[in-house]
A and B are shown apart, each in its own frame.
Chain A
């Protein structure tokens, strides 16, 4: 099925990588915060439903909230302790959401509760998908889409190739890099589950050229019985997006509006794969994740294994440079979100915390579009962001969607990155896409 063989995709950008400050340091365990703030909406889909009550003592790894329907995942206790309150907690979106406040107990040994082990050889695909859902696993690359829902192959389709995404194209982030170096056996165990769940015939691990040590290490430890191939591709943003990665590795394009399975592919993030390989043999739920904590405002930069629900304020207390903390971003600098509240906590989708020293955002003066076409040359899906930006200013959202493929935009931000006139292109497109979805929903609602 390999068509191009180019090992890359067209367009894209080359932001400064800034990974060297953290990629050489092994993952360290982060201490438990006295109070964990655990949102029940850490994934795309329905919020989880609490199964505990205020004042209840819970063990680490115990179920706190169950999945509400298929497109939902449960939440497990990141630490042993006492439920102080079930109520509203701040979230990265700026809204308050349902959540649980958990007081951690210092006396506890923090042993992890176990469930029913799942064996990749003896279980059916359905059993593995159920186990992945029960473990509360979502895409750890940042999208936080429930992994079991992504792995469910539609009846008419077939998964030929499983791609393990070890690209990590966001500047500053090195979590996947460290996971690949330190958790190879978990990754390969995870791949066994994924092969069984999807029926994939072969597996490709895609890694960018700035992580050759990880590629070498994984290559050396491939188990003899697994059909795995490591493919190193040139560094370029946004190669970590599924569409770009599939084109780089396999030379095919995912149809507009379609999913990777339409070309026989399923893509899973490498850290998610390792998590599956680590949790399923013990029937455990996800309690912590690796987060890159870096930036000029951080004293002890590195990758940390942090309990879910750890408030940002606690992280900054432990690692930050008190006088230097300016803006804080969750995720990478390209697609991450600026944090407005120090009580926002680490969730399953948090791949990085980037602490900048500047405290005056958005001072760059905006100039008119001069049609330099840098955005056209950057857009990985060949849109014309300049034209779309002009239409967005006139709120011609329908025209943008119908004639200029607005809905194909996945908001990588390459256009805004290169724009010499500092036009907030990707922000325009977020607003436009939301407006189009809203008006579509209205139409279907009336019909």
Chain B
């Protein structure tokens, strides 16, 4: 009998069968409801911006792979996540040529400059976002009100602004709840915030929905639940303490929790596997650091929102956290 026994491989010969693209695809599925709500709240504007950043990221990834003479990596779906996340953090009426640049920067500078998937120090979407913030400070802080009546039939003028023209802001601009609190001392009702009835970046407004999508990922073990929990818990506790001892000048803890990009950042960006620590204790340190920075920047900083900078700083120190905090090895 001639048997085909010359095929050998190393153990283990069985695998769980969940691949890296499977994880990425699941994150995309989890983001889709958030995108759907963004389109529901902000109409065509949000749809166009999110689509632009997603296409921009995928194209950039593909071209960079080809130019490096490597097999393209768009099939691992990670560029899609970066594109969707970047779009969700931008104002709905953000000019698409700027959005496109943001996508290119996110992938080229945020990901490929470090060596591609698995090597990025920072969350690529936030790298794109922070560059846009520096380059286009006005466009990035030009807001529109949610649930405009003609949002499904008309696109806001600034979306199609030509490159290097100043966007023309039509109608009215709605201040975000964080800006309203920071500059006018006006607090928004926490319930309105949680349900996403307010103005803000395309995908950050409905905290409740984002939390539900996060629970889906956490249950499937495709997101480390400790990251959002530690961030949210530390933001809540710190602002509760400030309120307790500092009085009414400080924001309400529930307001802090449900406003701005905190939920989107905590659930989908700080939890970026590549840019966060690996060990349970390290993750808590990372989360508490980010949560603290969010409160510090929001309360004492010059800007109304600090989630982006807080996460980027957390990303920056996470290799050090992993180096310094090692779990006890069995039998030691």
- In the assembled complex, the CB of A82 is this many whole angstroms from the nearest CB of chain B, namely 24
* A342 in complex: contacting residue of B5, B18, B119, B221, CB < 8 Å: B5
In the complex, the answer to whether A243 meets B331 with C-beta atoms within 8 Å is: yes
CA separation between A317 and B11, bound complex, in Å?
A: 25
In the complex, the answer to whether A369 meets B118 with C-beta atoms within 8 Å is: yes
- In the assembled complex, the CB of A133 is this many whole angstroms from the nearest CB of chain B, namely 29
Residues of chain B with a CB closer than 8 A to A257's CB: 331
Residues of chain A with a CB closer than 8 A to B69's CB: none
CA separation between A253 and B224, bound complex, in Å?
A: 28
User: Per-residue CB proximity of B309-332 to A under 8 Å, as 1/0?
Assistant: 000000000000010001111111
In the complex, the answer to whether B19 meets A336 with C-beta atoms within 8 Å is: no
In the complex, the answer to whether B224 meets A370 with C-beta atoms within 8 Å is: no
Stretch in contact with the other chain, from B187-195, B199-207, B241-249, B272-280: B272-280
**Residue among B13, B18, B21, B326 facing the most chain A CB atoms (10 A cut-off):** B13
CB-CB nearest in chain B for A237: B12
In the complex, the answer to whether A171 meets B14 with C-beta atoms within 8 Å is: yes
If A381-B329, A386-B278 touch, does A334 touch B14 (CB 8 Å cutoff)? yes
How many residues on the B side are at the interface (Cβ–Cβ under 8 A)? Answer: 42
**Residue among B20, B21, B279, B328 facing the most chain A CB atoms (10 A cut-off):** B20
* A326 in complex: contacting residue of B7, B15, B76, B279, CB < 8 Å: B7
* B330 in complex: contacting residue of A243, A313, A335, A421, CB < 8 Å: A243
Q: Which residues 281-302 of A sit at the B interface, judged by CB distance below 8 A?
A: none
Residues of chain B with a CB closer than 8 A to A408's CB: 329-331
In the complex, the answer to whether A372 meets B8 with C-beta atoms within 8 Å is: no
CA separation between A404 and B10, bound complex, in Å?
A: 23
Decide yes or no whether A158 CB sits under 8 A from chain B.
no
- In the assembled complex, the CB of B125 is this many whole angstroms from the nearest CB of chain A, namely 15
In the complex, the answer to whether B19 meets A426 with C-beta atoms within 8 Å is: no
User: Per-residue CB proximity of A318-352 to B under 8 Å, as 1/0?
Assistant: 00101001111100011111111110000000000
Residues of chain B with a CB closer than 8 A to A341's CB: 5-6
CA separation between A322 and B3, bound complex, in Å?
A: 8
- In the assembled complex, the CB of A336 is this many whole angstroms from the nearest CB of chain B, namely 6
* A316 in complex: contacting residue of B3, B10, B11, B116, CB < 8 Å: B3
If A342-B3, A359-B4, A370-B273 touch, does A335 touch B329 (CB 8 Å cutoff)? no
In the complex, the answer to whether B330 meets A373 with C-beta atoms within 8 Å is: no
- In the assembled complex, the CB of A187 is this many whole angstroms from the nearest CB of chain B, namely 29
In the complex, the answer to whether A317 meets B1 with C-beta atoms within 8 Å is: yes
Residues of chain A with a CB closer than 8 A to B276's CB: 371
How many residues on the A side are at the interface (Cβ–Cβ under 8 A)? Answer: 71
Residues of chain A with a CB closer than 8 A to B279's CB: 373, 376, 384
* B8 in complex: contacting residue of A322, A333, A340, A382, CB < 8 Å: A340
In the complex, the answer to whether B221 meets A327 with C-beta atoms within 8 Å is: no
Residues of chain B with a CB closer than 8 A to A367's CB: 19-21, 76, 117-118
Decide yes or no whether A427 CB sits under 8 A from chain B.
yes
If A313-B3, A387-B322 touch, does A381 touch B15 (CB 8 Å cutoff)? no
If A367-B19, A369-B118 touch, does A405 touch B6 (CB 8 Å cutoff)? no
- In the assembled complex, the CB of A344 is this many whole angstroms from the nearest CB of chain B, namely 8
- In the assembled complex, the CB of A166 is this many whole angstroms from the nearest CB of chain B, namely 22
If A333-B14, A373-B224, A373-B278 touch, does A340 touch B9 (CB 8 Å cutoff)? no
Residues of chain A with a CB closer than 8 A to B326's CB: 384, 404
Residues of chain B with a CB closer than 8 A to A333's CB: 11-14
If A336-B11, A359-B7, A368-B117 touch, does A256 touch B331 (CB 8 Å cutoff)? yes
CB-CB nearest in chain A for B323: A387
Decide yes or no whether A307 CB sits under 8 A from chain B.
no
CA separation between A367 and B273, bound complex, in Å?
A: 14
In the complex, the answer to whether A382 meets B328 with C-beta atoms within 8 Å is: yes
- In the assembled complex, the CB of A387 is this many whole angstroms from the nearest CB of chain B, namely 7
Decide yes or no whether B169 CB sits under 8 A from chain A.
no
CB-CB nearest in chain A for B278: A373
In the complex, the answer to whether B330 meets A381 with C-beta atoms within 8 Å is: yes
Residues of chain A with a CB closer than 8 A to B222's CB: 372
* B332 in complex: contacting residue of A256, A322, A424, A427, CB < 8 Å: A256
CB-CB nearest in chain B for A329: B13
Decide yes or no whether A364 CB sits under 8 A from chain B.
yes
CB-CB nearest in chain B for A297: B3
Residues of chain B with a CB closer than 8 A to A418's CB: 15-16
User: Per-residue CB proximity of A406-438 to B under 8 Å, as 1/0?
Assistant: 001000010011111110101100100000000
In the complex, the answer to whether B1 meets A326 with C-beta atoms within 8 Å is: no
Decide yes or no whether A15 CB sits under 8 A from chain B.
yes
CA separation between A383 and B331, bound complex, in Å?
A: 11
Decide yes or no whether A356 CB sits under 8 A from chain B.
yes
Decide yes or no whether A374 CB sits under 8 A from chain B.
yes
Residues of chain A with a CB closer than 8 A to B22's CB: 420
In the complex, the answer to whether A361 meets B8 with C-beta atoms within 8 Å is: yes
If A326-B7, A418-B16, A422-B15 touch, does A370 touch B330 (CB 8 Å cutoff)? no
Decide yes or no whether B254 CB sits under 8 A from chain A.
no
Residues of chain A with a CB closer than 8 A to B278's CB: 371, 373, 376, 384, 386-387
CB-CB nearest in chain B for A325: B3
CB-CB nearest in chain B for A10: B330
Decide yes or no whether A121 CB sits under 8 A from chain B.
no
Residues of chain A with a CB closer than 8 A to B116's CB: 368
- In the assembled complex, the CB of B42 is this many whole angstroms from the nearest CB of chain A, namely 31
In the complex, the answer to whether B8 meets A339 with C-beta atoms within 8 Å is: yes
- In the assembled complex, the CB of B221 is this many whole angstroms from the nearest CB of chain A, namely 7
CA separation between A13 and B117, bound complex, in Å?
A: 26
CB-CB nearest in chain A for B283: A373
CA separation between A404 and B323, bound complex, in Å?
A: 10
- In the assembled complex, the CB of A122 is this many whole angstroms from the nearest CB of chain B, namely 39
Residues of chain A with a CB closer than 8 A to B330's CB: 243, 247, 253, 256, 380-382, 408
The 5 closest A-B pairs by CB, nearest first: A368-B118, A381-B330, A361-B9, A413-B12, A256-B331
A contact residues vs B (CB 8 Å cutoff): 13, 15-16, 171, 243, 247, 253-258, 312-313, 316-317, 320, 322, 325-329, 333-342, 354, 356, 359-362, 364, 367-374, 376, 380-384, 386-387, 404-405, 408, 413, 416-422, 424, 426-427, 430
5 chain-A/chain-B pairs, Cβ below 8 angstroms: A15-B14, A328-B5, A383-B329, A386-B278, A417-B12
Beyond the given A327-B7, A417-B14, could you list 6 further A-B residue pairs with CB under 8 A, ordered by the A residue number? A253-B330, A320-B3, A367-B117, A384-B327, A405-B332, A417-B16
